[in-house]
């Protein structure tokens, strides 16, 4: 029987009846959009991620776009991000009319290279065609980027810093969550994420109450919020007063109910993921390049990604033994036609391009049995030898 790449059914069985009861409660209530579970989830996420303000939204992509809208970033503006990431990271900029500027990654963690970032910002400033406005650092594969270094560069240049934790919600660096350094942290609740819903969803974590208030307005069609109506009176419901152009990015209540249940075991699952990762490293580090976690960092291991010179051969060998694999990301974003028109850091992105040809991800989830993991490790070792 094939080994699951991600095992959501074991998690569902562990959560059991309380999960099903939570879903049925929403169905019976009829509060399918913005029901009480939404506020409960936002509070719980803030407590877990150490953020004073949390806004739930319809997807991880919306979680990236909404802060850009709130910061009034648009045509003529530059936002710096890695190219070795999912397309949603870079997609957010053109969606508001801004330009992504692609930055290289570090060869060990695959996260943003601070030196490449600084050089890219200086180059954009020197050219004068775009105005640098923000940095999107990505917590790729579940581990934190080098936030102390990246935040220092963002501050030096007067740029906003967003932590794209779509794969990394729950990761820490020196005991702190990314929001400690970033202006905003975002995440995705796509089902395959470490903290995943049973559909789409996302969240924006922030520290500024007025900024959060603006996000609340933008999430629901630019409706008037507290800061818009203070000292004013209206004869009608102020939700029908639209004071800015917004969007529709409300989370379904059922997804909040699911996530509230999953949060009760999330810390334990992160511990389990780290045990699985440690066992992989012990069994594979002498035959392939295993992941390096930043010093002081704790990864949530959205993926366990190794490097090998013969990726296609290894994938075929594992497939024959019912071991699934995945490749993130075979074509860097800056190499894809629609994004190839946007700037890159000086000197190009050689580390990104080298990694994209060698990386391959193995089954990773909190419920991976030792027997299945031994099978995976044994299959890789037999191929390499």
- Do both 240 and 298 map to the same domain? no
Both 250 and 271 in one domain: the answer is no
Instruction: Tell me, yes or no, whether 325 and 301 share the same domain.
Output: yes
Q: Is the per-residue pLDDT at 339 higher than 90?
A: yes
Question: Domain boundary at 240, 265, 290, which?
Answer: 265
DSSP state for residue 188 in the 8-state scheme: E
Assess whether the previous peptide bond of 329 is cis (omega < 30° from 0): yes
Q: Do 245 and 297 belong together in one domain? A: no
**Band of residue 303 on the pLDDT scale cut at 50, 70, 90:** very high
Range 191-217 average pLDDT: 97
Same domain, 200 and 321: no
CA distance 224 to 229: 7
**Residue 48 and residue 165 in contact, taking contact as beta carbons nearer than 8 Å:** no
Q: Which residues touch 309 (CB under 8 Å, ≥6 apart)?
A: 358
Residue holding tokens 């202006």? 183
Same domain, 259 and 285: no
Which residues are bridge partners to 202 per DSSP? 57, 188
Inside any domain, residue 1: no
- As a whole number, mean pLDDT of residues 172-179 equals 98
- CA 368 to each of CA 30, 103, 186, 285: distance values in angstroms, whole numbers, following the listed order: 37, 34, 27, 19
CATH number at 62 reads 3.40.640.10
Query: Is the pLDDT score of 341 beyond 90?
Result: yes
**Does 214 lie in the same domain as 276?**
no
* Residue that finishes a domain, picked among 265, 297, 321: 265
Q: Which of 249, 265, 281 is the last residue of a domain?
A: 265
Looking at the structure of the chain, the number of domains it has is 2
Active site residue 193: yes
Number of C-beta neighbours around residue 23 at 10 A: 17
Has residue 174 been placed in a domain? Answer: yes
Report if residue 2 sits inside a domain: no
Distance CA 33, CA 22 (A): 15
CB-count burial class (<10 Å; 0-12, 13-18, 19+) for 273: buried
Residues 12 and 47 in one domain: yes
Q: How far is CA 15 from CA 161, 258, 266, 335, 369, in A?
A: 36, 10, 11, 42, 18
What pLDDT score was predicted for residue 229? 83
The reported pLDDT for the residue numbered 191 is 97
Domain carrying residue 363: 267-334+338-384
Length of the chain: 385
| CATH, residue 303 | 3.90.1150.10
* Domain co-membership, 302 together with 234: no
pLDDT of residue 80: 99
User: Which is the catalytic residue, given 193, 232, 262, 335?
Assistant: 193
One domain for residues 249 and 285: no
User: Is residue 355 one of the residues assigned to a domain?
Assistant: yes
Element (H, E) at 151: helix 147-156
């Amino acid at each position: 029987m094939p080994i699951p790449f991600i095992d959501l059914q074991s998690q569902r069985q562990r959560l059991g009846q309380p999960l099903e009861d939570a879903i049925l409660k929403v169905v019976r209530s009829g509060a399918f959009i913005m029901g009480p579970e939404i506020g409960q989830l936002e509070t719980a996420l803030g407590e877990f991620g150490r953020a004073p303000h949390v806004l739930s939204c319809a997807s991880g992509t919306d979680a990236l776009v909404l802060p850009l809208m709130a910061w009034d970033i648009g045509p003529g503006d530059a936002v710096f991000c890695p190219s070795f990431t999912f397309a949603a990271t870079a997609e957010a900029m053109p969606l508001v009319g801004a330009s992504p500027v692609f930055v290289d990654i570090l060869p060990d963690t695959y996260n943003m290279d601070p030196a490449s970032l600084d050089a890219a910002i200086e180059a954009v400033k020197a050219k004068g065609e775009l105005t640098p406005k923000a940095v999107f650092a990505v917590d790729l594969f579940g581990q934190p980027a080098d936030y102390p270094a990246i935040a220092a560069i963002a501050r030096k240049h007067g740029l906003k810093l967003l932590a794209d934790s779509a794969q990394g919600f729950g990761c820490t660096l020196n005991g702190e969550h990314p929001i400690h350094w970033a202006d905003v942290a975002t995440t995705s609740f796509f089902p395959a994420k470490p903290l995943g819903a049973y559909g789409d969803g996302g969240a924006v974590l922030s520290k500024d109450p007025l900024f959060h208030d603006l996000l609340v307005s933008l999430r629901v069609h630019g409706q008037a919020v507290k800061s818009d109506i203070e000292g004013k009176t209206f004869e009608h419901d102020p939700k029908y007063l639209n004071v800015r152009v917004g969007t529709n990015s409300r989370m379904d209540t059922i997804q909040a109910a699911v996530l509230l249940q999953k949060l009760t075991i999330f810390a334990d699952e992160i511990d389990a993921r780290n045990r699985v990762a440690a066992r992989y490293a012990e069994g594979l580090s002498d035959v392939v390049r295993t992941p390096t976690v930043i010093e002081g960092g704790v990864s949530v291991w959205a993926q366990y990604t190794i490097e090998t010179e013969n990726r296609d051969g290894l994938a075929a060998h594992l497939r024959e033994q019912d071991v699934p694999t995945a490749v993130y990301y075979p074509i860097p974003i800056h190499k894809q036609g629609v994004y190839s028109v946007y700037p890159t850091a000086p000197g190009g992105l050689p580390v990104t391009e080298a990694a994209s040809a060698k990386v391959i991800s193995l089954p990773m989830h909190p419920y991976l049995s030792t027997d299945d993991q031994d099978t995976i490790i044994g299959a890789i070792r037999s191929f390499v030898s």
